């Protein structure tokens, strides 16, 4: 199921990001990979959130021979490269979307319509340093997602 788009802070060249990511992780540009990239670019431009199943269905419309494993593997790599956001909801579902920012940021997600918004927000360095001190960790990275109801879903 495809959701509504979130607000994107800075308009990026989605096409370039996806194409570059695919070039980085695959030595050969196979037909399935080209198809996956094309579909992701289209989804990225619409700002929609989508499940792996949504993407597979969309791909199978034009090429029924694309293997599910290839799609899953590509998505996993793009999540790892932070080109694709993966949002895990407490009900056990998870959705993807083309990330709208290539700088450090966090997300706000609607638990009803699964809309995701990019947040230009982060913890203060001092808060992170305090956690490191208290827990004896050296923190390398973090991800924060706020969950709630968007304006439309609150009204409805
Ligand atoms: Zn993002
Ligand atoms: Zn909503
Ligand atoms: Zn942060």
Q: Which tens digit of pLDDT belongs to each residue from 71-116? A: 999 999 999 998 999 999 989 999 999 987 778 899 999 999 999 9
Which residues are 116's β-sheet partners? 109
pLDDT score at 96: 94
Q: What's the gap in Å between 103 CA and the centre of ligand 1?
A: 9
Indicate which ligand has the atom closest to the C-alpha of 102.
Answer: 1
Q: How many CB atoms are closer than 10 A to CB 49?
A: 26
Q: What is the reported pLDDT for 12? A: 61
Cβ neighbours for 37, distance < 8 A, ≥ 6 positions apart: 18, 19, 22
Q: What percent of the chain has pLDDT over 70?
A: 92
As a whole number of angstroms, the distance between CA 100 and CA 6 comes to 9
> How far away, in angstroms, is 105 Cα from ligand 1 center?
7
What's the pLDDT at 143?
Answer: 92
Domains and CATH numbers, the chain: 13-100 (1.10.10.10), 103-156 (3.30.1490.190)
Ligand number with the minimum distance to the CA of 96: 1
Low-confidence ranges of the chain (pLDDT < 70): 1-12, 156
Q: How many angstroms is it from 16 CA to the middle of ligand 2?
A: 29
Ligand 2 centre distance from Cα of residue 114 (Å)? 6
pLDDT of residue 71: 93
Q: Which ligand is nearest to the CA of 97?
A: 1
Q: Give me ligand 1 centre to Cα 65, in Å.
A: 30
């Amino acid at each position: 199921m495809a959701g509504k788009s979130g607000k994107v802070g800075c308009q990026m060249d989605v096409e370039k990001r996806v194409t570059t990511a695919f070039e980085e992780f695959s030595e050969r540009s196979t037909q399935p990979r080209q198809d996956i990239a094309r579909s992701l670019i289209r989804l990225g431009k619409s700002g929609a959130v989508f499940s792996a199943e949504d993407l597979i269905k969309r791909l199978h419309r034009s090429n029924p021979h694309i293997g599910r494993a290839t799609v899953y593997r590509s998505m996993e790599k793009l999540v790892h490269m932070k080109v694709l956001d993966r949002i895990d909801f407490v009900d056990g579902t998870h959705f993807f979307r083309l990330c709208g920012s290539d700088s450090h940021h966090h997300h706000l997600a609607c638990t009803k319509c699964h809309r995701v918004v990019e947040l230009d927000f982060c913890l203060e360095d001092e808060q992170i340093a305090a956690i490191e001190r208290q827990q004896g960790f050296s923190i390398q990275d973090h991800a924060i997602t706020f969950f709630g109801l968007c304006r439309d879903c609150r009204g409805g």
